[in-house]
Structure 1
Amino acid sequence: MARATTAGDVTHPGPPAPWAPRQTYFPKWLFGEWEVESTFTGFRAPLGPRYVDPSLLQAAQAPADLGGIGSSYSFSQRYFSTLPDTLANQARFNLGLLPEDAIIADRAFNTRASSNAYLQDPSAVRSVAYDPRAAPDRLTVEFQRVAADMQPLPPKRVEIYIQNIQAGEVDPVITEDGVPSAASPFWPPPNAPCFVASELCRQVTLGVRQADVQDYEVITAFALLSPGRVAARQRTLIYLEPRDELYFQARGRAVAVYDYKLQYTRVEAPAGANACVETPKDVVQCV
């Protein structure tokens, strides 16, 4: 939780352990389809502006109606149930027990929906290729070749490799008098179940005769306010690449920090169900 809220330096989490998961498993209360309202609440360059690409600084300092601090975006997100091929489930199978299900994100749907919202173009993303079983740590995003005004666009593809995942339930911080204490002002809400997920990613953007590489980390802290209502704080951290001139001076510290506030409202389910969601295989799951 501290890395998601600190106003100090945040350091690159490093390579994963050999036994680290390749998939993020979410709590049961995130199951379903959600309407999300995301607000860009803050930006800082902890090591100074010279470590940050000028285009990123310019974008962050833009007015809210042009995508700067204060801008808001709405989109849908989906989380569904699956039977993961984990060591625990393999052991249960060997003992003749039924495997346990887990909640995962519909990364293809979620990436398309959020990208289109942030780019303010409902058709910006042409396709997202993702196989949660064969390659749970890789996505391929293809962008449209035709602009809204029907002008041709150069080909652009993004390969995203999830390199390090850390996730789990977070216990509330308790003071000496037994009162829950927030990790930062008003966060997380007292007594609210909280789950934090960190995903370190390498993004390779492929265009016409060019390939750009960027390492970034997304830390999201979810808090269950009530059934069907979730509040979240999200932080995106940008790290330098070895080819960057100031890479060694940065010493693995994040050079740009973006903060967002998110509100999740679960889509109402049909009568007789608490929550429903359509899976990538067009199967509707309900609980």
Structure 2
Amino acid sequence: MIFKWIWSILLIIFLLIPSQPAAAGELAEHLANFPHWEKLTSVKPATGDLVYPDWMAGTWQVKSTLVDLAAPLAPDILTPGFAGNRQQLNKSVDFLVRFIKVKPKISQSTIIPKLENPAEILVADREFNSLNLTKAYLGDDAVISTKVDPESPNRQITFLRGERQLVSIVTARAIETKPDGQFIATEVFQQLFKGGSRPYFNTVESTTAYQQLSTNSPQIIADQVTAVYLSPQDPDYFKAGSLPVALYRYQLEFSPISP
């Protein structure tokens, strides 16, 4: 039953991502092509941490709504939980997230967006964000904790009841800023779910476009697509090729809680 929620949990690991600039307009075009997606080829290896624009600083109440989903290779290939997630269509889930200012590590290769103060960068509070999301979907009793590797912001483990774990490792990403101020980020990560009869692997790509509004509620909206690809360990890997086996599109609304 846990697989019913794994794909939804992935959406907030979007709040964790430095990034390499993508070719002009590529990420926006990628979003516009939903549900006709293939793997991005312009993403770069993940190093350092994702730096967000200053207008995303603070604590936010997020309303996330699954507005569309697709299984491009159905009925031949379906991911666990896809049918169950269809029941979540047009239903919203609320949770808190926050973005904090930190001093960048000298060793990190971090690309800082224009107009940012390089002495201090804005990043996601990963443990706080991921823990709140998993509890929102699974319930307080189902989630023990979320830990980010102190040596790498790109590796995270979520500990669940019943000696189960979801391990997520960011491997590649890209960013893009449009002339209207829209901030778009893509990350690709490998995930491993442990605790079932056998480990389950896959590859996930999440692309999110954030737009600041002139209103307070919401103050930021976002369009996000999460694509699930088979990992090389899957027997259908070569059959799927560069196509995703599941796509989820979310609308996100951010209302400020504190500066």
Q: Give the alignment's TM-score, normalised by structure 1.
A: 0.71
Residue 119 of structure 2 aligns to a residue whose secondary structure is coil
In structure 1, the partner of 2:223 is 233
Residue 189 of structure 2 aligns to a residue whose secondary structure is strand
Higher relative contact order (CA 8 A, sep 6+): 2
RMSD: 2.4
- Give 1:138-287 correspondences, 5 Å limit: 138-144=155-161, 154-172=162-180, 193-207=181-195, 210-226=198-214, 228=216, 229-267=219-257, 269=258, 275=259
Structure with larger Rg: 1
Q: For each residue in 1:180-210, what CA deviation from the matched residue of structure 2 results, as whole angstroms up to 9, or x when unmatched?
A: xxxxxxxxxxxxx211111111111111563
Q: For each residue in 1:217-276, what CA deviation from the matched residue of structure 2 results, as whole angstroms up to 9, or x when unmatched?
A: 111111000275000111110001223333223221212110111100011x4xxxxx1x
Distance 2:189 2:178 in 1: 22
User: Shift of the alpha carbon at 1:21?
Assistant: 3.2
In structure 1, the partner of 2:119 is 100
Distance 2:210 2:42 in 1: 24
Contact 1:215 1:239 in 2 (8 A): yes
AA partner of residue 158 (structure 1): L
User: Shift of the alpha carbon at 1:13?
Assistant: 2.9
AA partner of residue 99 (structure 2): Y
Q: Residues 31 and 258 from structure 1, CA distance in 2 versus in 1: closer, same or farther, beyond 3 angstroms?
A: same
Residue 140 of structure 1 aligns to a residue whose secondary structure is strand
Residue 136 of structure 1 aligns to a residue whose secondary structure is coil
Q: Residues 202 and 15 from structure 1, CA distance in 2 versus in 1: closer, same or farther, beyond 3 angstroms?
A: farther
Q: For each residue in 1:32-81, what CA deviation from the matched residue of structure 2 results, as whole angstroms up to 9, or x when unmatched?
A: 0000111110011123332213x43321332xxxxx21111000001000
Q: Residues 88 and 114 from structure 1, CA distance in 2 versus in 1: closer, same or farther, beyond 3 angstroms?
A: closer
**Is 1:75 the equivalent of 2:119?**
no
Q: Residues 247 and 34 from structure 1, CA distance in 2 versus in 1: closer, same or farther, beyond 3 angstroms?
A: same
**Is 1:7 the equivalent of 2:34?**
yes
AA partner of residue 171 (structure 1): P
Q: For each residue in 1:154-185, what CA deviation from the matched residue of structure 2 results, as whole angstroms up to 9, or x when unmatched?
A: 2101111011121232224xxxxxxxxxxxxx
The counterpart of 2:153, out of the listed 122, 136, 148, is 136
Deviates more, 1:163-172 or 1:256-265: 163-172
In structure 2, runs of 5+ residues without a counterpart are 1-27, 111-116
Q: For each residue in 1:129-172, what CA deviation from the matched residue of structure 2 results, as whole angstroms up to 9, or x when unmatched?
A: 114x621100011113xxxxxxxxx2101111011121232224
Q: How many residues are treated as equivalent by the alignment?
A: 224
In structure 1, runs of 5+ residues without a counterpart are 63-67, 91-97, 145-153, 173-192, 270-274, 276-287
**Is 1:23 the equivalent of 2:49?**
yes
In structure 2, the partner of 1:279 is none
Q: For each residue in 1:115-135, what CA deviation from the matched residue of structure 2 results, as whole angstroms up to 9, or x when unmatched?
A: 11122x13322111114x621
Distance 1:29 1:166 in 2: 19
Percent of counterpart pairs with the same letter? 25
Contact 1:29 1:227 in 2 (8 A): no
Q: Residues 251 and 88 from structure 1, CA distance in 2 versus in 1: closer, same or farther, beyond 3 angstroms?
A: closer
Q: Give the alignment's TM-score, normalised by structure 2.
A: 0.78
